[in-house]
């Protein structure tokens, strides 16, 4: 039985006081970790403060990106060693916004996935197709290629522990949610790809989130699907009440 994982991706929003207030307001209201995992993916400057505030609660704190090297001459970058040292548990890798605006590639996502596991961080690996790819019936091939490249060289245990977020680019921030059938169809495909690529057990164990205009009003329907094990939520994760509702849906 896979445990749902609900992650709020704040992207480039909030200031520190707002971020800390959010954690204060949510940390005692989210479901216990044994029922569902609840994560906030916050901008780098907030991470130490949020880890401190979330201590002793079931709320986990994630970064939205990182470099794949441990340290070195990479001005402006943040390493997995730094994140681990702060008490961060998860890291979002390969979000479509990073692929589009910051030259993230399947190759760097794969290097980062290895680096995450080398430092005991759980990667939330994002994949997804453009509207053009969907209209040209390229979705399944594109997703398969992204998944295989991201997971390349990981051990079976690491694949089992990974989280993949299926985020169709046309559904991000647009208010257009994929139908639960569309989302589940792609997640089922990802699971099959993982089964063939790694093992039957790894395919059964890996958790798959859907992301793209998820909100309290549509989360139940999405989570009721057989191959969807959580949500990666942008806009609707910014308000404490809305995040708590999403986290509660994960525990149903």
Ligand X SMILES: O=C(CO)COP(=O)(O)O
Do 223 and 5 contact (CB within 8 A), yes or no?
Answer: no
Q: Is 49 annotated as ligand-binding?
A: no
Q: How far is the CB of 12 from ligand X (least distance, A)?
A: 12
Q: Which of 104, 129, 167, 248 is catalytic?
A: 167
Please state, in angstroms and as integers, the Cα–Cα distance from residue 96 to each residue in 11, 18, 55, following that order: 12, 26, 30
Kindly state the tokens that stand for 248. Answer: 């509660």
Residue numbers at the binding site for ligand X (CB under 6 A) = 9, 95, 167, 172-173, 211-214, 232-236
> What DSSP element (H or E) covers 123?
strand 122-127
Task: Respond yes or no: is residue 167 known to be catalytic.
Answer: yes
Nearer to ligand X, 62 or 115 (CB): 62
Known binding residue 215? Answer is no
| Residue 8 and residue 40 in contact, taking contact as beta carbons nearer than 8 Å | yes
Answer for the pair 100, 77: CB distance below 8 angstroms, yes or no: no
CB of 10 to ligand X, least distance (A): 9
DSSP 170: G
Cβ of residue 136: shortest distance to ligand X, in angstroms?
A: 22
27 carries a ligand binding annotation: no
Of the two residues 123 and 212, which places its CB atom closer to ligand X in the complex?
A: 212
Is 170 marked as a binding-site residue? Answer: no
Using the minimum distance from each CB to ligand X, give the nearer residue, 47 or 165.
Answer: 165
What 3-state DSSP class applies to 207? strand
CA distance 148 to 130: 18
Least spacing, CB of residue 64 vs ligand X, in Å: 9
Residue 114 among the catalytic residues: no
The answer to whether 120 is a known ligand-binding residue is no
Name the helix (H) or strand (E) containing 233: strand 230-233
Which residues are documented as binding site for substrate?
Answer: 9-11, 173, 213, 234-235
Which residues are documented as binding site?
Answer: 9-11, 173, 213, 234-235
**Which sequence positions are flagged as catalytic?**
95, 167
């Amino acid at each position: 039985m896979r445990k749902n994982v609900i992650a709020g991706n704040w992207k480039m929003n909030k200031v520190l006081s707002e971020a800390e207030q959010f954690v204060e307001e949510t940390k005692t209201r989210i479901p216990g970790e044994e029922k569902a995992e609840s994560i906030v993916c916050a901008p780098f400057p907030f991470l130490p403060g949020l880890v401190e505030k979330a201590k002793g609660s079931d709320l986990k704190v994630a970064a939205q990106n990182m470099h794949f090297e441990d340290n070195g001459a990479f001005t402006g970058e943040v390493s997995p060693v730094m994140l681990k040292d702060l008490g961060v548990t998860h890291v979002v890798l390969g979000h479509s916004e990073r692929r589009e605006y910051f030259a993230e590639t399947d190759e760097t996502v794969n290097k980062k996935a290895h680096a995450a596991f080398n430092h005991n961080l759980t990667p939330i690996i994002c994949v997804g197709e453009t509207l053009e790819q969907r209209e040209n019936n390229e979705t399944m091939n594109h997703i398969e290629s992204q998944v295989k490249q991201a997971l390349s060289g990981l051990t079976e245990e690491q694949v089992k522990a990974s989280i993949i977020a299926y985020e169709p680019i046309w559904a991000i921030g647009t208010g257009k949610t994929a139908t639960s059938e569309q989302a589940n169809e792609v997640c089922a495909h990802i699971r099959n790809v993982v089964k063939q690529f790694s093992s039957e057990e790894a395919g059964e164990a890996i958790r798959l989130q859907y992301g793209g205009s998820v909100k309290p009003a549509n989360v139940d329907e999405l989570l009721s699907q057989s191959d969807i094990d959580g949500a990666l939520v942008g806009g609707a994760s910014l308000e404490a009440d809305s995040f708590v509702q999403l986290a509660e849906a994960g525990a149903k």
